[in-house]
C-alpha cells in the first residue's frame, strides 16, 4: 500500500534490540533513514551492544543509520559513550544532546 501511494522514502524506520530488522518493511517503505536504538543501558554490557550493532550494520548499507545516544535515556548513561565509540563501526550518525562527547567517533 505504501509503495502504491508514493510514500516510499518518507519514513524513518526504528530498529532496536526489541524491534528487529524487518526486510519486508524495509523493502516496502524504502526509508532514507533508520533509527538505531538500544534499550538495555540499565544492564549495559559492551559485548552484547557490539553484537547488536555488528549484527545490523551490514543490513543498513542503503540507508543512513542514526544511532540513539545513551544519555537520551538517562544522563547517568553518559559513561557508556566512550566504550561505545571504541567499538562502533564508521557510518553512523548520532542523535545526542552532548555532541562534544562524541568527538572521538566523528
pLDDT, mean over the chain: 91
Q: Which pTM was predicted?
A: 0.87
Residue 34 main-chain phi, psi, to 5 deg = -130, 130
pLDDT computed for residue 8 by the predictor: 73
Domain boundaries, given as residue ranges, for the chain: 12-102
- List phi, psi (to 5°) of 20: -75, 165
Residue 6 has pLDDT above 70, yes or no: no
pLDDT tens profile 26-46: 998 899 999 999 999 999 999
Amino acid at each position: 500500500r505504501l509503495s502504491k501511494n508514493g510514500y516510499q522514502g518518507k519514513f524513518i524506520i526504528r530498529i532496536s534490540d526489541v524491534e528487529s530488522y524487518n526486510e519486508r518493511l524495509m523493502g516496502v517503505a524504502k526509508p532514507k533513514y533508520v533509527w538505531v536504538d538500544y534499550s538495555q543501558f540499565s544492564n549495559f554490557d559492551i559485548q552484547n551492544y557490539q553484537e547488536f550493532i555488528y549484527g545490523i550494520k551490514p543490513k543498513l548499507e542503503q540507508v543512513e543509520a542514526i544511532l540513539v545516544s545513551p544519555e537520551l535515556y538517562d544522563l547517568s548513561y553518559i559513561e557508556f559513550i566512550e566504550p561505545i565509540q571504541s567499538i562502533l563501526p564508521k557510518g553512523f550518525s548520532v542523535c545526542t544532546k552532548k555532541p562534544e562527547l562524541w568527538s572521538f567517533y566523528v
